[in-house]
Amino acid sequence: MLATSTVSIMTRDTNVSAEMECRLPEYLHALPQYLHKQALNLLAKLHTSLDIEQLLKAFHQGIQVDLPELAFTVDCPDCYVPIPVNCGTKQWQFHIIIDDDYLCDLSLYSPAEIKQDLAEQLNLWLRVLAYPLRNAIHLHKMRMQVFRDGLTGVQNRIAMDQSLGREVASAQRHHTELSLLIIDIDHFKSINDRYGHSRGDIALQTTTRIMRNCLRNSDQIFRYGGEEFVILLTHTEPVGAYILAERIRQSMAEGDHLIGDIRIPITVSIGFSAMQWNDTSESLFNKADKALYTAKNTGRNQVCCLDKDNNSDESSFSELMSPLSSQA
C-alpha cells in the first residue's frame, strides 16, 4: 500500500533564538544542527534554478541519502513532471503544505523499499526544497497560461507542437512506446446550427471532461482546433492506446449528455497511431490523422488505425485486434 505523509511548513516560528535566526531561515529549524551547513548550501543551489525537473535532480544530489535509486516527481493541478524511466515503483507520497496552502504532491519512486526512518529524514529535507519548488511551480503555471485553451482548459495547439516533438525525441532516445490519438466530435457543426454556439461550447467542455476522466495523470490532452483534440500517450503500446481510445468512445456514446438545459447525443471518431523507430513527429501525427479520416468516412463513432504493415490498406483497428474488442 502506498504510504503518505504531510510536510507542513509555516513561515514564522516564534520560538527562535537570535543565534539560529542569523544562521538559518526559520522554516528549516526542524533540521538537526549538524545538517544546517549542508542545508544552507543546498538551499543556495536550489535558488539558482526555476526549472522543476532540475530542482528535483539537484535536491536528490544534495541530500546525499543512502539510496541512489530515488526519483521524485511533482503532481499538482496544471503541473505534472514525467516519471523518470526505470525508476521503480511509487513508494511514498508527500503532501507539501506551506502556510496552510496546499502546494503539490511529491511522489517518491524507488526499486527498493523505503523504510520509515528514511521517509522521516526526507520529510525534514523537503523543507529545504519547498520554497524553491513553490517559486518554480508558480512560474510554470504562469507560462502554462500561454499554452492553455481558454474554453476547455486543456493545452492548445502551440503546446501540442512543442510537446509532440519533445516526446518523440524522448521515445527514440529511451526506446520507449509512444502513441497518439486524434479525436473529432461527430457532426459538431449540426450541434452549433441546431442548438446555438453557446451550447456548442458546453458540448466541447463536456467532451473534454469525459476524456480527462478516462486518462492517466501522465497523458497529455490538447485542443488542436475547433472540435478536434489530440492526446499523447507516453509509455503506451498500441494495445493500450486502443483500449483507452475505445474507453473514451464508449463513454461518449453511452447516453445523451446534459448540455445546458437539454440532452444531446454526442459521439466521437478517433484515429490513432503508434510510433515506429523511423517516425518523426509529423509522420506520427499524419498516420493518426489519416486513420481519423477513415473513421469519419466509414460510419463515425469508431476507433481506427492504419495497419502498419500495409499503409495503403486502411482498416478499423477494432478489426485488426478483434480479440480485444470485448475487453475494452
Q: Catalytic: which of 26, 113, 227, 246?
A: 227
Of 241, 263, 273, 267, residue with least CA distance to 254: 267
d(CA 81, CA 69): 17
> Is residue 227 flagged as an active site residue?
yes
The answer to whether 207 and 184 are in contact (CB under 8 A) is no
Torsion of CA 207, 289, 325, 266, to 10 degrees: 30
Backbone angles phi, psi at 85, to 5 degrees: -70, 140
**CA separation, residue 17 to residues 13, 14, 218, 249, 298 (Å):** 10, 9, 45, 62, 76
- Dihedral sign from CA coordinates of 312, 314, 319, 323: positive
Q: In the beta sheet, which residues pair with residue 316?
A: none
d(CA 247, CA 260): 25
**CA separation, residue 317 to residues 65, 157, 273, 287, 322 (Å):** 48, 26, 10, 13, 8
Q: Which residues carry out catalysis?
A: 227
